[in-house]
Amino acid sequence: MAVPSLHVVGATTLHCCPLSFPSCTLQYFPSHTSALLTGTESPLQSLHALVPRLARAPTCLTWQSPPHSCCMENIRSFCITWAQRLCCCCCNRGEDKPTELTTQVEVRSATGQDQQPSSTGLKDDGNGNSRPQPPPKRALSGQQTPKEPHKQKETVTSYTNEGTHVTVEIHPKGTSPQFFKKLSFGKGPWRTPSLRGQDNKAFERTEAPRPPSTKDLHVYPWDKFSLKSLAVDLQKFEKLDAYALKVNNKGSVEELVQTLLKQARTDLEKVRVIWMWICHHIEYDVVGFHNKSLRLCEPTDVLRTGKSVCEGYAGLFQKMCRVAGIQCMKLSGYSKGYGYKIGQTFQGNSDHAWNAVYLDGRWHLLDSTWGSGTVDDASTKFTFRYNEFYFLTHPALFVNNHFPDNSNWQLLKPTLTLKQFESNLQHNSDFYKLGLLAAHPQTALIQTENGTATISVECRPSTLFTFKLEGTDKHGLLTLRKQGMKLELYPQKTGRQELQIFARPSKSTEDVYTCVLEYIVECKSVDKSRHFPKDLHQPVGPSWFTEKQGFLRPSHPDPIIHTNDGRCSLTFTLGKDISILASLHTDSSSLSEEMSRQHIMQIQRGNQVEFKVHLPHAGSFVLKFFTKKKSDPGSYSFVFNYLITCLNTEVKWPAFPLRYSKWAEGYELLEPLSRLLPANRNVQFKLKMQGISKVLVQAGDTYTLTLSRDGFWEGTCNTAGCTELFVMVHENANHGYYSHILKYDIETQ
């Protein structure tokens, strides 16, 4: 229901009280007990300063109400009651009784002229720009702008534009008729204040949107500051958005706009409520997309059927904005939407339509078609899936997939050529919604150099990435950085190949990646030395993500470790109370699942952990790390991996000794590190273990190790007469049993 407005106008010359006071406006809300007084001079007069004069002089009140409001007698009664209750001086002094008041009523129909804004208006009734825009004389194409063949239609404001104006004169009983002439009767319509934004005042009078000028332009490329061309607080739109979704008015366009604008006061709110309604109530016409003869694009048809193609979306949006008094343009051009192929060239007729709206003194771009939802790959089914990105999109981002017929409507400085638009990399809305800022190279076609190509993405922290080159992620190395990622590609065949890059927020509870970039990689030669193991997972190497998992200050920050002798040692500082499991993998069959952990020796000293790796042979290996909370009895989860390479064909390191379950996390083996010991030899043992009362080495004979002053268990044993050797510990002096912690194999003669 529209809010009635009650206006109080004081006479400039009063017979019984020769005082004058400025014109003021009283906005009355029936659902509230208070009223709001807005004056044209400062400071504002209070009701107690204004209303007492009702007892001494005639005053005129104008009440604009919808057709279904209360009857005339109720209006008359309300006005008298209002004056008596608010007037602290309407009682005769000494007699203590109310002054008798009478009323005289004039009734008129509301007209479009009545809806023009007054010179006073209400506070905060626009976008803050009070300068009206002059009407343009020519369109951007240089052709004379055609005039509307029909009469200018009434503009809808936040108040109802249809109904009755009831003007009630209130004056003391017995006032002479000559005082009536001083009031508003017969002096023309009273112009009610408007809540319309100041930017579109000129448009209300002319219906001729002005073309873009230099003040509308944004610098290209994007400044990486805001996704929108106008500062918008989406939280403030929550109630308005919810209201738009509930409106189900399928009458005329004018009736629908009038209903929607009941909750909209500023120009921005008007545009927002129209946008939200279209995006949630008009579906894409997939049948009309394939059959032009079945398309319905006129606004009335789109509203009636609830579906259309982009032409209908843009046309309806323009129509609704114009009814609401908002300057709006329907634009056409090329787009990188459904059916677009990377590297595609554009020629011939335009293939898409969208809109520009005038807000806050500038033009802004939006696409309600793409804001409403998506179609499937076969373009046979439409799904409502609201997309906020295409509401007031920054022009430097909008031009990624919208190229207008008239370059002025890019709203950019400098503007892009069609050739630049065709070659530029397409950033879809998901790219920016995930916090990504830029990608390099910026062209969609990449050519390799010496069999490799590099892609990087700049983004805000906490974004995970992966990729697919011709459907696999095995031909590249993706590393995470604090502000993005780097991808080194090594295609294993020549020719053109499709590259897709995916991303997701690290805090997401779902392990679902969204495609954000697509390239075409043209490979002229293949680097065969860069063949990666199938067990290599992306991303590779330590990063901000591994830091969050507890791996701090890695000794090897790079994802690839090169070793010439087949050995390497990695250290980390642990930032969490976690248990770590490491394993080694290669494409050859030399490593079984059991042996994948036996070529790694883990040593923990407080919060420092070291991993000694001995490769069984030359080649490429994947070193994987898994973790779990120490307090968690569950399984280990994969965290990250390294790529280890060795080209020395003479490398052939045996595994480390087999460790039993009693091998504790804080134990450290210094020698012997090889699982295979020579036969008939004396072998030196040295271990560091705390909380142990006795250590034995069981071979052909049993040998006891002694605890040195520096805390090492040391001793020598002979491997004669045995094929296996065991190290055992006695943890508690009060118990008589020993636990096996290590096992060695003895070479056969």
- Per the domain annotation, does 208 fall within a domain? no
Range of the domain at 409: 214-424
* Per-residue model confidence (pLDDT) at position 167: 52
Q: Active-site residue numbers?
A: 310, 352, 367
Residues 356 and 225 in one domain: yes
What CATH number is associated with residue 515?
2.60.40.10
Mean pLDDT of 400-426: 97
Residues 622 and 673 in one domain: no
* Per-residue model confidence (pLDDT) at position 617: 95
Residues 651 and 666 in one domain: no
pLDDT band at 737 (very low <50, low <70, confident <90, very high): confident
Number of domains in the chain: 5
Residues 133 and 22 in one domain: yes
- Per the domain annotation, does 21 fall within a domain? yes
Mean pLDDT of 242-252: 91
More confident residue, 608 or 128: 608
Residues 678 and 652 in one domain: no
Residues 469 and 599 in one domain: no
Residue 73 clears pLDDT 60, i.e. is over it: no
More confident residue, 159 or 211: 211
Bridge partners, residue 601, by sequence: 612
- CA–chain centroid gap for 657, Å, is 53
Kindly give, in sequence order, each residue whose CB lies less than 8 Å from that of residue 545, ignoring residues fewer than 6 positions away: 464, 480, 506, 539, 640
* Per-residue model confidence (pLDDT) at position 595: 85
- Distance between CA atoms of 397 and 414, rounded to whole angstroms? 14
Contact 193, 5 (CB under 8 A): yes
Residue 251 clears pLDDT 60, i.e. is over it: yes
- Per the domain annotation, does 207 fall within a domain? no
- Per the domain annotation, does 515 fall within a domain? yes
Residues 556 and 508 in one domain: no
- Per the domain annotation, does 573 fall within a domain? yes
For every residue of 524-577, DSSP letters joined together read SS--TT----TT--SS-S--HHHHHTTEES-S--SSEEE-SSSEEEEEEEE-SS
* Per-residue model confidence (pLDDT) at position 137: 33
Contact 698, 728 (CB under 8 A): yes
Residue 41 clears pLDDT 50, i.e. is over it: no
- Per the domain annotation, does 534 fall within a domain? no
Contact 240, 233 (CB under 8 A): no
Mean pLDDT of 14-36: 31
Residue 193 clears pLDDT 60, i.e. is over it: no
* Per-residue model confidence (pLDDT) at position 612: 97
Residues 56 and 101 in one domain: yes
- Encode 546-561: b = buried (16+ Cβ within 10 Å), e = exposed: beebbbeebebeebbb
Residues 652 and 671 in one domain: no
Residue 633 clears pLDDT 60, i.e. is over it: yes
- Distance between CA atoms of 210 and 421, rounded to whole angstroms? 26
* Per-residue model confidence (pLDDT) at position 591: 81
- Per the domain annotation, does 357 fall within a domain? yes
Which residue is associated with the tokens 């190949």?
497
Mean pLDDT of 473-484: 95
* Per-residue model confidence (pLDDT) at position 181: 39
- Domain end marker among 638, 656, 674: 656
More confident residue, 161 or 282: 282
* Per-residue model confidence (pLDDT) at position 395: 98
Mean pLDDT of 483-500: 96
Q: Can you give the pTM of this predicted structure?
A: 0.70
pLDDT band at 245 (very low <50, low <70, confident <90, very high): very high
* Per-residue model confidence (pLDDT) at position 5: 36
* Per-residue model confidence (pLDDT) at position 308: 97
Mean pLDDT of 524-553: 94
> What is the average pLDDT value for the chain, to the nearest integer?
79
Residues 643 and 668 in one domain: no
Kindly give, in sequence order, each residue whose CB lies less than 8 Å from that of residue 306, ignoring residues fewer than 6 positions away: 250, 281, 282, 283
For every residue of 631-664, DSSP letters joined together read T--S--EEEEEEEEEE--TT--PPPPPEE-TT--
Q: Is 182 helix (H, G, I), strand (E, B) or coil?
A: helix
Residue 192 clears pLDDT 90, i.e. is over it: no
Q: End-to-end distance of the chain based on CA atoms, in angstroms?
A: 101
* Per-residue model confidence (pLDDT) at position 23: 33
Mean pLDDT of 236-246: 97
* Per-residue model confidence (pLDDT) at position 74: 53
pLDDT band at 577 (very low <50, low <70, confident <90, very high): very high
- Domain end marker among 625, 641, 656: 656
Which residue is associated with the tokens 């056409």?
332
- Residue 128 has φ and ψ, to the nearest 5°, of 95, -5
For every residue of 210-264, DSSP letters joined together read PPP-GGG-EESS--SS-SBSS---GGGGHHHHHHHHH----S-HHHHHHHHGGG-
Degrees (nearest 5) of the Cα angle 447, 452, 457?
A: 80
Residue 39 clears pLDDT 60, i.e. is over it: no
Min mean pLDDT across 269-273, 526-530, 698-702 is at: 526-530
Residue 201 clears pLDDT 80, i.e. is over it: no
Residue 200 clears pLDDT 90, i.e. is over it: no
Residues 35 and 173 in one domain: yes
* Per-residue model confidence (pLDDT) at position 90: 39
DSSP state of 43: S
Residue 179 clears pLDDT 90, i.e. is over it: no
Torsion of CA 159, 161, 164, 166, to 10 degrees: 50
For 699-713, the pLDDT digits (tens) are 999 999 999 999 999
Residue 260 clears pLDDT 60, i.e. is over it: yes
More confident residue, 120 or 208: 208
- Per the domain annotation, does 529 fall within a domain? no
> At residue 655, what is the residue type?
A
pLDDT band at 172 (very low <50, low <70, confident <90, very high): low
Residues 173 and 233 in one domain: no
> At residue 497, what is the residue type?
Q
* Per-residue model confidence (pLDDT) at position 659: 94
Mean pLDDT of 568-590: 93
Min mean pLDDT across 295-304, 307-316, 583-592, 731-740 is at: 731-740
* Per-residue model confidence (pLDDT) at position 461: 83
Q: Which of 62-66, 73-77, 187-191, 708-712 has the highest mean pLDDT?
A: 708-712
Min mean pLDDT across 155-159, 349-353, 553-557 is at: 155-159
- Domain end marker among 390, 408, 424: 424
For 134-166, the pLDDT digits (tens) are 333 332 233 333 333 333 344 444 333 334 444
CA nearest neighbour of 190 among 214, 168, 175: 168
Min mean pLDDT across 102-106, 152-156, 613-617, 642-646 is at: 152-156
Mean pLDDT of 488-503: 96
